[in-house]
Structure 1
Amino acid sequence: MELNVSTTHRAGHAVVTVTGELDLYTAPRLQQELAALIRDRAERVVVDLGGVEFCDSTGVNVLLAAHQRLADQGGSLALAAPTSTVRRILQVTGLDTVFTVLDAVPAFDTR
C-alpha cells in the first residue's frame, strides 16, 4: 500500500493530510513533508490521520521527532482524527499524553 501526503495552509496552520499505510517503507514520505515545514519555521502543524489504515513504530517515530523539533523551535504539532487503529497505538505507548490528539481536523477560521 502506498502513502499519500498533502499539505494545505489555513489560518496560520499547516494541515498535513495522510492516507494509506504509515510504515518503514512509506514513513520517509511523511518525514520529508514534516521536515520541509520545520525548515520553513511552521509554528502550528496539524497532522490529519483519518485516512491512515496502519501505522508501525517507524511512523510513530517520525511523528514524535517532528513534534520534538517543532517544540524546540517554539511550534506545535497536533494529531487529528486518528483511526481507531492509530488511536490504540497512541494509547498503548502512552503517546496520547505526549501529543495533542484531536477528534477531528479543526475548522480554522479563514477570515
Structure 2
Amino acid sequence: MELNVSTATQGGHVVVTAIGELDLYTAPRLQTALAGLLRTDVDRVVVDLSGVEFCDSTGMNVLLSAMKRIKERGGTFELVAPRPAVRRILQVTGLDTVFTVLDTLPAN
C-alpha cells in the first residue's frame, strides 16, 4: 500500500497529513516531508495520523526522530487522531507517554 503525505499551514502550525501504511517502504516519504519542515523556522508540527492504517517500528522511528529534532530547538511536535491499531502500538511501546497525542486537530 502507498503512503500519501501532504503538508498545510493551519493557524500557527504546520499539519502533516499521512494516509496509508507507514512502514519500512513508505516511511522515507514521511521522513522527507518532516525533514523539509525542520529545515524551516516552523516551531509547531502536528502529524495527522487519522488516515494511517498501519505503522511499524520504522514509522515510529521517523516520528521519534522528528520530535527529538523539533524539541531540541524549543518547538512542539504532536500526533493527532491515531487509529486504534496505531494507538495500540503507541501504548504497547510506551510511546504514548513520549509523544503528545491529541484526539482532534488543534484549532490554532
TM-score range, shorter chain: over 0.9
Cα separation, 2, equivalents of 1:105 and 1:54? 20
Superposition RMSD on alpha carbons, in Å? 0.7
**TM-fit CA distance, 1:73:** 1.1
Contact kept? 2:23, 2:56, Cα under 8 Å? yes
Corresponding position of 2:101: 101
5+ residue gaps in structure 2?
Answer: none
Partner-residue secondary structure (3-state), 1:70: helix
Corresponding position of 1:87: 87
Deviations 1:26-67 (A, max 9, x none): 000000000011111210000000000000000000000000
Cα separation, 2, equivalents of 1:14 and 1:70? 12
TM-score (norm 1): 0.95
Structure 1 runs (4+) deviating above 3 angstroms are none
Cα separation, 2, equivalents of 1:40 and 1:84? 32
Contact kept? 2:70, 2:77, Cα under 8 Å? yes
Number of equivalent positions = 108
5+ residue gaps in structure 1?
Answer: none
